[in-house]
Structure 1
Amino acid sequence: MFLGTHQPKLDDKGRLILPAKFRDQLANGLVITRGQERCLYVFPAAQFQQMYQELSQAPITSKQARDYIRVMLSGATDEVPDKQGRVIIPAALREYAGLDKELSVIGVGNRAEIWDAKAWQDYLDRQESEFAETAEEIIPGMF
C-alpha cells in the first residue's frame, strides 16, 4: 500500500528518485500516466495491467469509457527503476502535470501520485476544510 507524502526533486534529466518506501512495490516495473487534477498516477505494472483488463470490459459504444481510456493510455509509459531507484518522467507528462524541480509524491493506497510541490500544497489547502467537514453520508460507516 502506498502511504505518506514525500518531497523528492526532479533532476535535470527529468528523473525522479522514487521514495524508498515505494521502491519494493515498484521494483518489477511501473506505469506512469496522466492522473486527474493534473497530477501523474504511478501504478505497479501488474496492477496497471489488471486495471486495464477491467477498463477494457467497458462497452466500446460508451463514449465516456472511450474518452477515459484514450486519455489514460495515450499518456502512459512503462518504466523499470534503475539501481538507484530512479525513473524518467517523459517531457509530455512533466508538461501535463506542470512539474518543476520541487515535487510531492503522495501515497494514495493502490497508487502513488506525482504532483508539482506548489500545486499539491494549493490542492491540499483547498481540500482540508472540506475534509474536516466530510459527513457520514459521503463515506458511509466511516465516522
Structure 2
Amino acid sequence: MFLGTHTPRLDEKGRIFLPAKYRDRMSEGLVVTRGQERCLFIYPMDEFVKVAGQLQAAPTTSRAARDYMRVFLSGASDEVPDRQGRFTIPAALRQYAGLDREVTVIGAGARLEVWDSATWATYLEASEQSFADIAEEVVPGIV
C-alpha cells in the first residue's frame, strides 16, 4: 500500500526518484498514465494489469467506458526504474500534469499520484474542508 507525501524534483531529463520505501515494489516495472484532476497515476506493473483488466471487462457498448479507456490507456507508458530508483516521465504526460521541477508524490493506496506541487497545495486546501464534511457519507462508521 502506498501512503504519505513526498517531494522529489524532476531533473532536466524529466526523471524523478521514486521514494526509497517504494523502490522494491516498483523495481520490476511500473506504468505511469493520466489521472483525474491533471495529476499522473503510477501503478506497479502487476497492479496496472489488474486495473486494465477491469477496464477491458467494461461493456464496449458504453460510450463512457470507451472514452475512459481510451484516455487512460493511450497515455500509459511502461517504465523500469534504474538502479537509483529514477524513471522518466514522458514529455506528453509532464505537459498533461503541468509538471516542471517541483512535484509532489502522494500515496493513494494501490497507486502513487504525481502532482505539480503548487497544484497539489491548491487542491489540498480546497479539499480539506469537504474531507471533514463528507467522511460519514463516503465511508460510514470509519470515523
TM-score band, normalised by shorter chain = over 0.9
Corresponding residue for 1:66? 66
Q: Which amino acid aligns with 2:35?
A: G
Summarize deviations over 1:93-114 as a string: whole Å, max 9, x none: 0000000100000000100000
> How far off its partner does 1:135 sit?
4.3
> How far off its partner does 1:46 sit?
0.7
Unaligned runs of 5+ in 2: none
Q: Which amino acid aligns with 2:20?
A: A
Work out the CA distance in 2 between the residues paired with 1:68 and 1:134.
Answer: 26
4+ aligned runs moved over 6 Å, structure 1: none
Report the 3-state secondary structure (helix = DSSP H, G, I; strand = E; otherwise coil) of the residue aligned with 1:134: helix
Report the 3-state secondary structure (helix = DSSP H, G, I; strand = E; otherwise coil) of the residue aligned with 2:57: coil
Work out the CA distance in 1 between the residues paired with 2:107 and 2:36.
Answer: 15
Work out the CA distance in 1 between the residues paired with 2:64 and 2:132.
Answer: 32
Work out the CA distance in 1 between the residues paired with 2:45 and 2:137.
Answer: 34
Corresponding residue for 2:118? 118
Q: Which amino acid aligns with 1:77?
A: S
> How far off its partner does 1:134 sit?
2.3
* Number of equivalenced pairs: 143
Summarize deviations over 1:61-88 as a string: whole Å, max 9, x none: 1100000000000000000000010000
Q: Which amino acid aligns with 1:128?
A: E
Between Structure 1 and Structure 2, the one with more helix by share is: 2
RMSD (Å) for aligned C-alpha atoms: 0.8
Report matched runs for 1:18-37 at 5 Å: 18-37=18-37
Q: Tell me whether 1:85 sits opposite 2:85 in the alignment.
A: yes
TM-score normalised by structure 1 residue count: 0.97
Unaligned runs of 5+ in 1: none
